[in-house]
Chains A and B, each alone.
Chain A
């Protein structure tokens, strides 16, 4: 790991090397602080060495190479070329040093990872007297350095500010230094401690107290095109480190982020292997178009799909305009920066992580039995004036199962969800290097079998990273990732796809037999979904993701860097969709009856590549109290997409699934390609005074091929400022409580070019609008989509005010933000009257405002061996459409958009209850949908025109939650760790209809338990209307109403994890640094007021025709050598 070789800590006559090394050392150790444990490193780290006749220096090198220890000594005072023998077997560094210094008077002192060698010849502390200053007049300064507990610290570097003159403290923390008479300030620095400056004017002896560097304060976080100290941040962002992501058996990056950051919402709609990525919304829905956040992996715009969660070092989400503006035109919906792990110099580290898990559906519809469904069906048709379909004897037969061929009670869900749901993950990485070159190699294998047979995903990932320093001023980094996804799902001969299964499985009646006693499949007019599944037919997609990045860092002069980057992204997929035909047989005569087909094969190869070039000039400079840095860059991106597809049908049978095996009759071929380009200039300046007043400005100038020449370029500026109140002199008295307190504010403008269409400004004429004359296909063309050449960028202006506080010595952290985000010129397919004739063009037509508050509160503590961390976050976001250019309301099915309401709110009729008396019925406005009777839902006549029609629809709530919250609780005791992660939403509505809510029907449509307590004259309930079959007045699909819009708040124990790390004294014997075993449960518990069989995370209004959400129970190990 972070390792700095200090073969000669004090080369004669030069302190600058020391300082450089100390700087690096500090940096590395700071990075490591996150993972550093409180227990003594020197006791935990074991060595096995067998060295004969080697120099002391070589022993030291060996120690450093195999550990994180740094040895500090003064070559002049110690004979480092003395030959010694060392033999240790799983022993601590002390055993080695004892052997080395045996029979000498030299001693050593261990301070965490630093070992200071105290030569016996030294009368004073190690120091450096630089020869050229000998001619000047000197002052002798001496003193002691202690920590805040009063213990002396050896090895602290003491340097005269602005010079290379310096020394380090001795074993007792004492130092003595000769300084020029004009020297004013000494700088004291030590790993893990805050660097201190001390005014020595007029002093000769004094004591210095070093303070611990609180974890987090000096944390370096990712920002656009670089990094920044967290304390100096002025924009709104959140980050999670690998530690928080580690070892949670998540299948993808998005679900890892869920609930970990305020204002970052992850919506997951399906648990299907390979399709469970979820979507990420940063601070609400900013646009009506693609609201997905931009993803940057290792500096390259790409997707989260091609990153193995195990490879991730850090994820940072840039939430406000100030932090995201440097990404300009694609940053309006937030930016997710991901960095992957890289090699560190020093000892080779090997990690192996693995888990095995079983998935189960979180919720499945609780459909009623065939006998209940039959009696409900009778009731529904009788309500509509039809004779009952089933006799009491029929219903009895359904109930007792005496004639399963004719009166079955088929458990279709039970037959369908029979996949093993087994998943496993193996991840292996090895990293290491020296001070010139560091590298890391990782390999991953992930496999997930679905809870439906023949669904699944296999994923192989590999990642190689290397960093090499060429000469003193040039570093080159290589980064290569290759991922192979093998995705599979069944097809069917009816709808051809997999999603068609869910419609069938949720509608087919329990009164249809799966298989008859003679072994033949039962079927109805849509077939038999289990027969399809057993018959086979697969859609397989093999996707290759390749990503290569080469970047460099050239230090042209001090503080002045040139950083070019070249990236290539390739995404190639091969899809093969084979649909098998199926013949059903008459159950009695066994003659062929119903046929579903024909069999058919679609082969599709798709190719997508992105070539990125980027270069950055960066300059950092410090004068006295002024810190200044500037960055200017250029980037361009070229995207190309193409596909080629072939189709054949009428294969002789279902055994072959290659195109060449199919007949020519009925074949077709297709293919296309398109291109996109983006060009950008960007820049940033940072200035801070005394690290107290912070200022940052960002600008980006973007050009996109998606717009007409005149509207092509957009300029995106952002400014932010921060005030670290805690650094003010007047704040000193509060320092005991507030370690750090910062106010920050920002304003910025961002763009969005992600508008769905590649060439919205060009009026295009599509081909393939064909017709046939005389049985010959005539190729036709026609405009399909209207164009709008005036189209311009979407613009988001965002303002943020925030406060960051660090209290009680880092025990409590607090962050709060208030933001307002206005998006204008939203590109919208405003519904256009059908008289237009074509698909309406997008127009810059809407404005949306999101404003809200985000809070995060953390508490980190320990009590002896007991450690506990609690981090809770919440966000209150209000979403409102502010302008629709007079086109509102825009109504789409059961949602609408209207100024003053949230985007796509529920829209429908207001229920006034259920008709209970004839009087109510007679005096109510006329309703439609069927013959209205008692037990029907009463809709409110909003405009009092005596009829219920489209004009009576009103706002019924929003599926966008008022508040989202999450809490992470981590507890540790000795080797045990327990973490609980809760996540929830508040103030959200849900709407279910069709299959997921259930339907009364005979062979099609199945009632759920909600239907039980329905209205009858004997049971005049208000809970559920009377049953219907073909009438639509109570059907939520035809009459969306407040009766069906329900509270969908939920609280979910998203993850629970319990782990145990084996004691190192056992592990060292087998050369293992760390071994942890754990249990993890994902989606373990859910509390919701929504329908009890519907997963509340599944988006509102869904019909439930999707693969269900899953809960996963896993066990795993983390192993480090």
Chain B
């Protein structure tokens, strides 16, 4: 019996000694940092700040959102902007590029909590905090404009709170945004160099503050904000080359989304400029400028097209117009990559306006030269968010609204017109508040077309019923001579869609249904 006990004991020892290696189950991620291993130096904080910048804003938003205005039409309902434009959206679920999104805000909150405990240079720390606070303020600005009341959070929250938090009144959110922007502007530098170019500057903070103030009718505040940066930037010499990749980071850019071609390589496509291109060039033609936008451009002589003396030729509608029209939009007969663009002649052509009832116009801004890009879905092009031209227009508009129409107003507008190759404002015609308001609004629509600001203008000017109700027109039908580009039109005009605008509903967008489903304390905007 004794000789059997020994092997049994051996077996038992063998059986259980493996469990003695205590740390067998103590495994940590190999490819991800943990909170406890972070915030050791300025480098950690820098990386965390870069993470906050990721997707703080993107190109698709800027490109597409004019489809939610009278500037453009989104022919593909599944892309989500069609229903924001035509008012048919009633049961909402994240239409368009969902801006009811708190990722950037919570990343910034996380960063701001973490950098506090990081041992590093205090001045640098101050600046970096200001950058993150700017990004957070930008998102709150955007959401409060689109949705009205927004839950205001300045720290990371638990999942329980995320499911029960209520919306703060818009005024409260706005106050937060403006206070933040005021506070941080002194912590930010005027400019950066080298591989810091593109970070938030003092100018960006002040310019966003000015925009926010203008949008919320705080005209006096807006004027003083604008005054703080007027003259500190300058318009780039060519409007048409302003948006090309080789002219990135020029003197006019106050704030932009920085992109580089090699970022996010393995993805099928980035949210990139291909959506703007016509299909024969491999694009989607998703953002179609409207006839109403085309008609807004003045003639080269500074007269509007409804002025009988303007020389406007309805049979050659793109001729002798404000050069910004040619820099922004192509239409029947426009020369594109050596060929005349023809959306109305041959139904079997990819450029044909059907079957989605494209407007017959397409975009040129951002994609004026196909040869600028190796791959239109990975262009690496920066997306301007605030240009100096907008600051000038903000200033002019605020002054006009307060009826302080002085020379500074004319010179601000003239600065823009002259750069574009247009004559100065005719002071004879534009000599009172009403006419000046008309002028600055037209100038704003034209100068900033397809830059994602038109919807906010409609919203604050309360002109939705006027401009976003009824048919959305495109160009007239007819043919284009393939050799000369000369269009021959019939009287029939493309109607891309019929729009409905309900003033009691449509000035605010709906909160996504998915959040309403989860959070009982979250109210929906009226009418949705």
Q: Decide yes or no: A837 and B102 within 8 Å by CB, A525-B284, A764-B32 being known contacts.
A: yes
Q: Decide yes or no: A681 and B355 within 8 Å by CB, A594-B281, A887-B518 being known contacts.
A: no
The smallest beta-carbon distance between B4 and chain A, in angstroms, is 5
A836 touches B157 (CB 8 A): yes
Complex A-B: 23 CB contacts under 8 Å:
A377-B355, A557-B4, A562-B11, A666-B261, A677-B25, A677-B27, A764-B32, A765-B33, A767-B33, A770-B263, A771-B50, A772-B260, A773-B195, A774-B192, A774-B194, A774-B198, A776-B195, A781-B44, A834-B512, A836-B106, A928-B91, A931-B498, A1001-B355
* Cα A1030 to Cα B279 with chains together (Å): 20
A831 touches B518 (CB 8 A): yes
B522 touches A833 (CB 8 A): yes
Q: Is A174 an interface residue (CB 8 A)?
A: no
B27 touches A832 (CB 8 A): no
Q: Is B282 an interface residue (CB 8 A)?
A: yes
Residues of B within 8 A of A928 (CB): 88-91
From B51-59, B225-233, B323-331, B445-453, the one touching the partner chain is B51-59
A779 touches B47 (CB 8 A): yes
Q: Decide yes or no: A705 and B159 within 8 Å by CB, A765-B35, A770-B50 being known contacts.
A: no
Q: Is B265 an interface residue (CB 8 A)?
A: yes
Partner of A773, one of B163, B199, B375: B199
Contact with A along B374-387 (1 / 0, CB 8 A): 11001010000000
Q: Decide yes or no: A556 and B7 within 8 Å by CB, A677-B24, A831-B514 being known contacts.
A: yes
Binding site for A on B (CB under 8 A): 4, 7-8, 11-12, 14-16, 18-19, 24-35, 38, 44, 46-54, 77, 82-83, 88-91, 100-103, 105-107, 109-110, 151, 153, 156-157, 159, 161-163, 165, 192, 194-199, 248-249, 258-266, 268, 279-282, 284-285, 347-348, 350, 354-357, 374-375, 378, 380, 495, 497-498, 512-519, 522, 528
* Cα A33 to Cα B33 with chains together (Å): 60
Contact with B along A1049-1070 (1 / 0, CB 8 A): 0000000000000000000000
Residues of A within 8 A of B375 (CB): 597-598, 649
A615 touches B14 (CB 8 A): yes
B198 touches A772 (CB 8 A): yes
A594 touches B103 (CB 8 A): no
A830 touches B159 (CB 8 A): yes
Partner of A780, one of B53, B100, B262: B53
Max chain A CB contacts within 10 Å: which of B27, B46, B162, B268? B27
The smallest beta-carbon distance between B503 and chain A, in angstroms, is 17
Q: Is A759 an interface residue (CB 8 A)?
A: yes
B101 touches A834 (CB 8 A): yes
* Cα A377 to Cα B375 with chains together (Å): 34
* Cα A636 to Cα B25 with chains together (Å): 10
Residues of A within 8 A of B519 (CB): 833, 835
Q: Decide yes or no: A759 and B52 within 8 Å by CB, A617-B12, A647-B265, A780-B47 being known contacts.
A: no
Residues of B within 8 A of A405 (CB): 348
B50 touches A779 (CB 8 A): yes
B33 touches A769 (CB 8 A): no
Q: Decide yes or no: A594 and B518 within 8 Å by CB, A703-B25, A832-B163 being known contacts.
A: no
Q: Is A1032 an interface residue (CB 8 A)?
A: yes
Residues of B within 8 A of A389 (CB): 354-355
Q: 13 new A-B pairs (CB below 8 Å) besides A525-B350, A774-B192, A782-B110? A: A524-B279, A586-B280, A666-B265, A677-B24, A759-B29, A763-B35, A769-B50, A775-B380, A835-B153, A836-B102, A928-B90, A928-B91, A948-B91
Max chain B CB contacts within 10 Å: which of A597, A638, A782, A1001? A782
Partner of A767, one of B28, B32, B348: B32
A767 touches B156 (CB 8 A): no
Chain B's closest residue to A782 (CB) is B51
Residues of A within 8 A of B263 (CB): 770-772, 777
Q: Is A31 an interface residue (CB 8 A)?
A: no
Size of the chain A interface, CB-CB below 8 angstroms: 113
A594 touches B32 (CB 8 A): no
Residues of A within 8 A of B380 (CB): 775
The smallest beta-carbon distance between A610 and chain B, in angstroms, is 14
* Cα A840 to Cα B49 with chains together (Å): 22
Q: Is A668 an interface residue (CB 8 A)?
A: yes
B195 touches A774 (CB 8 A): yes
Residues of A within 8 A of B258 (CB): 771-775
* Cα A1022 to Cα B159 with chains together (Å): 46
Residues of B within 8 A of A524 (CB): 279, 350
A782 touches B48 (CB 8 A): yes
B15 touches A634 (CB 8 A): yes
Q: Decide yes or no: A634 and B51 within 8 Å by CB, A676-B27, A778-B195, A832-B163 being known contacts.
A: no
Residues of A within 8 A of B25 (CB): 677-679, 703-705, 712
* Cα A116 to Cα B157 with chains together (Å): 85
B34 touches A762 (CB 8 A): yes
B516 touches A950 (CB 8 A): yes
Nearest 3 pairs between A and B by C-beta?
A837-B106, A928-B90, A1002-B355
Total number of residue pairs linking A and B with CB closer than 8 Å: 293
A615 touches B198 (CB 8 A): no
Contact with B along A872-891 (1 / 0, CB 8 A): 00000000000000010111
B24 touches A782 (CB 8 A): no
Partner of A666, one of B35, B109, B153, B262: B262
* Cα A596 to Cα B354 with chains together (Å): 22
The smallest beta-carbon distance between B51 and chain A, in angstroms, is 3
Max chain B CB contacts within 10 Å: which of A830, A837, A949, A1002? A837
Residues of B within 8 A of A666 (CB): 261-262, 265, 378
The smallest beta-carbon distance between A414 and chain B, in angstroms, is 22
The smallest beta-carbon distance between B214 and chain A, in angstroms, is 28
* Cα A686 to Cα B522 with chains together (Å): 58
* Cα A928 to Cα B95 with chains together (Å): 14
The smallest beta-carbon distance between A251 and chain B, in angstroms, is 30
* Cα A557 to Cα B1 with chains together (Å): 9
Chain A's closest residue to B92 (CB) is A950
Q: Is A946 an interface residue (CB 8 A)?
A: no
Contact with B along A625-636 (1 / 0, CB 8 A): 000000011101
The smallest beta-carbon distance between B439 and chain A, in angstroms, is 36
Q: Decide yes or no: A780 and B29 within 8 Å by CB, A525-B285, A763-B34, A774-B196 being known contacts.
A: no
B18 touches A636 (CB 8 A): yes
Residues of A within 8 A of B44 (CB): 781
The smallest beta-carbon distance between A911 and chain B, in angstroms, is 15
Residues of A within 8 A of B355 (CB): 377, 389, 1001-1004
Q: Is A672 an interface residue (CB 8 A)?
A: yes
* Cα A769 to Cα B108 with chains together (Å): 13
* Cα A1026 to Cα B261 with chains together (Å): 46
A777 touches B90 (CB 8 A): no
B350 touches A634 (CB 8 A): no
Residues of A within 8 A of B151 (CB): 835
A889 touches B517 (CB 8 A): yes
Q: Decide yes or no: A615 and B11 within 8 Å by CB, A556-B4, A835-B165 being known contacts.
A: yes
Residues of B within 8 A of A385 (CB): 498
Partner of B38, one of A672, A712, A759, A765: A765
A564 touches B14 (CB 8 A): yes
Which A residues, 857 to 915, have Cβ-Cβ distances below 8 Å to chain B?
887, 889-891
Chain A's closest residue to B268 (CB) is A496
The smallest beta-carbon distance between B438 and chain A, in angstroms, is 32
Q: Is A468 an interface residue (CB 8 A)?
A: no
Which A residues, 484 to 508, have Cβ-Cβ distances below 8 Å to chain B?
495-496
Partner of A843, one of B14, B159, B165, B199: B159
Residues of B within 8 A of A769 (CB): 50-51, 54
* Cα A233 to Cα B196 with chains together (Å): 72
B162 touches A782 (CB 8 A): no
Max chain B CB contacts within 10 Å: which of A587, A765, A948? A765
Chain A's closest residue to B14 (CB) is A615
Chain A's closest residue to B7 (CB) is A556
A764 touches B350 (CB 8 A): no
* Cα A776 to Cα B1 with chains together (Å): 77
Residues of A within 8 A of B30 (CB): 672-675
